[in-house]
A and B are shown apart, each in its own frame.
Chain A
Amino acid sequence: MSPHDTPQASPLAHHFADMEQQRDSAKLGMWVFLLTEVLLFGGLFCVYAIYRAWHPEMFFNAHKQLNVWMGATNTIVLIASSVTMALAIRSMQLNQRKPAVRFIFATLALAGVFLVIKYFEYAHKIHLGQLPGKYYTFTGLEGTNPHVFFTVYFMMTGLHGFHVLCGMGAMLWLLRRIRKGEFSAEYYTPIEMTGLYWHLVDLIWIFLFPLFYLIG
């Protein structure tokens, strides 16, 4: 057990019978939150489906403006970050605090790499004027309404990027709490919940990547 344990640091809240019940409640709550996330992105996936069905050629031409290798690199980065996040939880389950911290740092770093690559992609598109709606000034694309593709692209990857940012915030919060000695093999629910959230962010990217970069 942790030498930092103090009475008020007991992780069991008074309204739960035991740790097991507390953990199950947290998990159910987290899954309900993840479902709302699925529906939030689901609306945008529906927008994508409608506009792609309306303008198949335009979507195909516009998707060639995206850099497949940057997208693929980001996919690999996010998969690696999902593995490190899962391993951070596993380390905490085994009461190995230092490896857990290292794995969370690795996840954080990979999330940073994802956003840096995304930044270069966005900067390039902003430079070319491949922007949503009326800000679209690019002239190198044939077809009707090519700005619609970039509207959907920026909305979906932007919302996803915001989720990556939130995940990084959650990981910093976890690192702070680990340093304070609040987690152990008995109690690591916040790490597990952050992991669930992070895997969902990965899961959404798993669909965004082929839809935008590969088939358009």
Chain B
Amino acid sequence: MSGKQHHHILPLSTYLSVGAALLVLTVITVAVSQYQLGEWNLIVAMTIATIKATLVLLFFMHLKYDNKLYAVAFLIAVTFLAVFIVLTMLDTMTRDEFGRGSIDKPVQYQSAPAHPGEGEEPASHDTAGHTADTADSSHK
């Protein structure tokens, strides 16, 4: 067995204070969500979640101390995920004329009388086909 290794052993206090910070941030995010702040609810909740995630990554997952290769790889994945979501949202949110009109139509399932009296389209015998139609028309 080769012995020489330089593992970074963090003091107990680091783990405990990061854990405490995560708990405090959880309390804050729950408390803020009790108020209706419109768009700000989403912004505050996501900001706090991102701070919490960063703490977990840096300290629990040791990205702060490890080879930066892991941090870079992770950031690249997150960046591409952001690109994926932003481009998808740009697409779906800028189609009002063609697509958004049918979004508010209820999807009708054969066995779901979720909205009695509403959406009087005849329950198609081909449920899957009908659902696909609805989805289709909202994307053309």
Convert B95-112 into 0s and 1s, putting 1 for each residue whose CB lies closer than 8 angstroms to a CB of A: 000001001111101111
Which chain A residues border B30 with CB–CB below 8 Å? 68, 72, 214
Taking chain B's interface residues, is the majority helix, strand, or loop, or is none over half, making it mixed?
A: helix
Q: Which of B29, B56, B73 is in CB contact (< 8 Å) with A199?
A: B56
A54 partner, pick from B56, B92, B127, beta carbons under 8 A: B92
Tell whether, in the assembled complex, residue B88 and residue A50 are in contact, meaning their CB atoms are under 8 Å apart.
Answer: yes
Q: Which residue of A94, A147, A148, A203 is within 8 Å of B57 (Cβ)?
A: A203
B85 touches A27 (CB 8 A): no
Do B114 and A147 have beta carbons less than 8 Å apart? yes
Interface size on B, residues (CB 8 A): 61
Q: At the interface, is chain A mostly helix, strand, loop or mixed?
A: helix
Chain A interface residue count, Cβ-Cβ cutoff 8 angstroms: 65
Instruction: For B7, list chain A residues within 8 Å (CB).
Output: 93
**Interface check A107, CB cutoff 8 A:** no
**Complex alpha-carbon distance, A80 and B84, angstroms:** 32
Query: Which among A33-41, A154-162, A171-179 touches the partner chain?
Result: A33-41
B84/A18 in contact, CB under 8 A: no
What are the residues of chain A within 8 A of B59 when measuring CB–CB?
86
Counting chain A CB atoms within 10 Å of each CB, the highest count among B2, B5, B61, B114 belongs to B61
Residues on B lying within 8 angstroms of A by beta carbon are: 1-5, 7, 9-10, 12, 15-16, 18-19, 22-23, 26, 29-30, 33, 41-42, 45-46, 48-49, 52-53, 56-57, 59-61, 66-67, 69-70, 73-74, 77-78, 80-81, 84-85, 88-89, 92-93, 100, 103-107, 109-114, 127
